Amino acid sequence: MLSGSQLAYESATSLRRRIAVKELSPRELVDGFLRRIEQRDPQVHSYLYVAADRAAEAARRAEQAVMDGRELGPLHGVPVAVKDLFDTQGIETTCGSPRILHGNVPARSATAVERLESAGAVLLGKLHMTEFAFLEHHADTPPARNPWDLARSPGGSSSGSAIAVAAGLATATLGTDTVASIRLPAAWCGVIGFKPTWGMVSRDGVFPLAASLDHVGPITRSVADAALMLHCIAGPDSRDRSALPNGSIRSEPAPRENFAGVRIGWDESYVTTDAEADVITVTRTALDAMLALGAEVKPIEVPSLDSTLNTFTSVFLLELRSAHVRFYPERSDDYTPTLRETLALASGFDPLRYVDASIRARAFRYQIDCLFDEIDVLLCPAAPSAATLLTGDQRRSSDVARGSGRNPLYPFRYTCLWNLAGTPAVSLPWGFTAGGLPLAVQLVGRRRADDALLSIAARLEAEAPDVGRRPPLE
């Protein structure tokens, strides 16, 4: 049984160990989570669908395997949930679009979901998200709320994935990240969000937002749990030709005593321009913590921010249009207003722009690869502010940027560049505002050096303030 809320906030690595030594019953653990979801989720709306019967049966099988002495998977009995963008066999998958994909029940699960279940994880259900992973939650779905302040946004598009982990409604979750969609909600909800190298995790069975920018990754309570989740889902996949043929991640971060020899890239202008004071302060504090442990700071310049945002926008819009040819414009009235308007804009783009943008994107990736010849990790904010009020959502942020003459993606400048570069990046909780809202920093690593980034992030995590603080839901 759940003892208070302790098990609801316990790490996946700890739960797996306790299950293996018969200290903890998978059935009681999952039953406790299902009860907790029933009691707490109406406050925050992290789930779109709770697979209670399926989870209970999976927990029963997990417990029997323990009793029979069978070999157990790395996530055996651990309760997880996935963003509604992932196909799930026998469970409706609406991608947060309850009108367009109503009644869509896939015949098979996405590769990442299959791999989680093969590793022994128990799927609790499907998690809330913005429609088709864009900017707005559909009006036909309940409002997703930040567990730290119910009047504030949890971020998107993987809203439910971050809420569920922060509120103790799942031990770990899967999300996707095209612009910021793992790292922003993780930052605003005070949990870990890891975007791996592009292609490290298969995108099979995941509805695309913009295929060359989409990344699949975990949201967890610790860096160690992120590594464990990635270890289970990373790797080549015959169903996804973009999956790296030799992609793999260690099951736990390599331990390190300090940051001796670690070169930190620091762009003063990139970090500080148009960011809130609290965000700048905590990012500097994280830098100081790394320097105190032997790291070296290397002044750098993030290349051509405005030009790169324009490149990103061209790639994004043309790939977005391609992803929706089945539904737009015939079903245009069923979309949220922002997505409908953006698809209309994308439909007016000359496809030849995609060729030019793709060339510029490759040049940017090369620039970033060269940058990482000089540094080991880049440190910057995960978001320019703490969580905004629900009335000040991501759409409004983009509208403000557009009205000021900036690219509408400017509010996501700390995150979307690394989607274009395809580099791994992690959002790491780092303290709170005076009003009790989580703040976060971001570490960015070299492409295909996910293990090295996880090792650095795990060591920095040990220095983070206010670890273990919980949302005021109990």
Give the residue numbers marked as catalytic: 83, 157, 181
Query: How far is Cα 410 from Cα 306, in angstroms, rounded to an integer?
Result: 8
CB atoms within 10 A of CB 237: 23
| Residue 102 structure tokens | 């109503």
Q: Look-up: residue for tokens 């809420």?
A: 163
DSSP SS3 for 194: strand
| Helix residue ranges per DSSP H, 327-449 | 337-347, 352-371, 394-403, 413-421
CB atoms within 10 A of CB 297: 16
Query: How far is Cα 377 from Cα 438, in angstroms, rounded to an integer?
Result: 23
Query: How far is Cα 123 from Cα 265, in angstroms, rounded to an integer?
Result: 39
Residues 6 or more apart whose CB falls under 8 angstroms from that of 371 comprise 265, 300, 303, 378
Query: How far is Cα 437 from Cα 424, in angstroms, rounded to an integer?
Result: 26
Beta bridge partners of 173: 81, 219
| Residue 235 structure tokens | 């790797």
Q: Look-up: residue for tokens 């290397």?
A: 298
Q: CA dist 210 to 126, 166, 323, 355, 374, Å? A: 21, 27, 7, 15, 30
Name the DSSP letter for residue 447: T
Q: What is the DSSP string of 305-331?
A: HHHHHHHHHHHHHHHHHHHTTTTTTTT
Query: How far is Cα 11 from Cα 25, in angstroms, rounded to an integer?
Result: 15
